[in-house]
Amino acid sequence: MQRLIPVLNKDHVPLHLISVINTLLTAAKEISHRLHQGSLAGTLGSTLDENIQGETQKKLDVVSNQLIKNMLLETNLVRAVASEEEDDIVEGNPDAKYLVAYDPLDGSSNIDINGSVGTIFSILEVPDHPAEGKDMFLQTGDEQVAAGYILYGPSAMLALTTGQGVRMYTLDHTVGEFLLTVDQVKVPKDTREFAINMSNSRFWNKPIQSYIADLIQGEEGPRKKRFNMRWNAAMVSDVHRVLCRGGLFTYPADCRNKKKPCKLRLLYEANPMSYLVEQAGGRCSTGYERIMSLQPTDIHERVSVIMGSSNEVEVCLDYHKKIPCDRFDV
């Protein structure tokens, strides 16, 4: 089985970019080890702090964030990092070429129940201008030069794209390396599976309510086929399933908190996952716009997300075209 670095070399990925990716993986191996140790490592549970988004931080959110940040900045190859768990960007080498945006641990609520979690990352180049502060990160998803995630499940898996399709690697603990296990990931165009947090349905806008209501009616409804639902409460593992066997994943806007209608973050979650899903032949949208075309205005910006099997996403988007929003504008 092939190791990661020779595969990236064969794809002519620039050497410094390979080093940045490899550094992320070194941090991921350490996170994987700590997760594997569970309570024995003393890192489960919450801290007394909240992150910039007002969410309680788990100890492992903080530990993972520190590990990734420190390791990346030590390479001298990174100009700055932006993390879901940091209020502001953290500057590195002013002469370096790369920017890394990351969600150190996605699906945090799963940590204490020994469920799947992951690390999501997006790598950009420093733009010609404005090349200062957090504005450097305000680039569309189309500007990403690499993106991926490490899923810490029964095995630790890396899904990675550098714009030449998507490959998956599995961590071989005996040699401490990620080995190629799926060469070209392809998301099937059609599906009978969807992933959404149904408990929010009364807070959704009409287009998504109608779409999901029709899926649930199965053979008796307008879709005339039976759909199954899956929800792991970790985007990384819900999207991993979509990459492996198709499906539609969505976290739509809702009116639980009018000031914060969307949950998932554009830079740390939506853009990197969209890059992977599109590179595997799937489709990604907010319901109204392609996610990777969005111009970010803030590093912690949140968006509504619909992604997965292209024909199914298309159907969902038709509901958005035909049915007006009734509760709030997105």
Ligand X SMILES: O=P(O)(O)OC[C@H]1O[C@](O)(COP(=O)(O)O)[C@@H](O)[C@@H]1O
> Which residues participate in the annotated binding site for substrate?
106-109, 197, 263
314: helix, strand or coil:
helix
Q: Which is nearer to Mg ion, 60 or 168 (CB)?
A: 60
Number of C-beta neighbours around residue 85 at 10 A? 24
For residue 254, state whether it binds ligand X (rule: CB under 6 A): no
Answer for which of 72, 123, 234, 273 binds ligand X (CB under 6 A) is 234
Contact 268, 144 (CB under 8 A): no
251 binds, among ligand X, Mg ion, none (CB under 5 to 8 A by kind): ligand X
Nearer to ligand X, 55 or 142 (CB): 55
Binding-site residue numbers for Mg(2+) are 84, 103, 105-106, 269
Binding site partner of 77, from ligand X, Mg ion, none, Cβ cut-off 5-8 A by kind: none
Using the 8-state DSSP alphabet, how is residue 269 labeled?
Answer: I
Least Å distance, CB 216 to Mg ion, is 26
CB of 28 to ligand X, least distance (A): 15
Nearest Cα residue to 13 out of 1, 2, 4: 4
Label each residue of 58-103 as H, E or C.
EHHHHHHHHHHHHHHHHCCCEEEEEECCCCCCEECCCCCCEEEEEE
**Under rule CB under 6 A, residue 85 binds ligand X:** no
Residue 311 lies near ligand X (rule: CB under 6 A): no
Instruction: Tell me: does residue 293 bind ligand X (CB under 6 A).
Output: no
Q: How many Å apart are CA 243 and CA 256, to the nearest integer? A: 30
Q: Which residues are annotated as a binding site?
A: 84, 103, 105-109, 197, 263, 269
**Contact code string over 176-215 relative to ligand X, x by CB under 6 A:** ---------------------x------------------
Look-up of token digits 């702090």: 49
Asked if 271 contacts 291 with a C-beta cutoff of 8 angstroms, the reply is yes
Q: What is the DSSP letter of 157?
A: E
- Residue numbers of the site for ligand X (CB under 6 A)? 55, 84, 103, 106-109, 197, 233-235, 251, 263
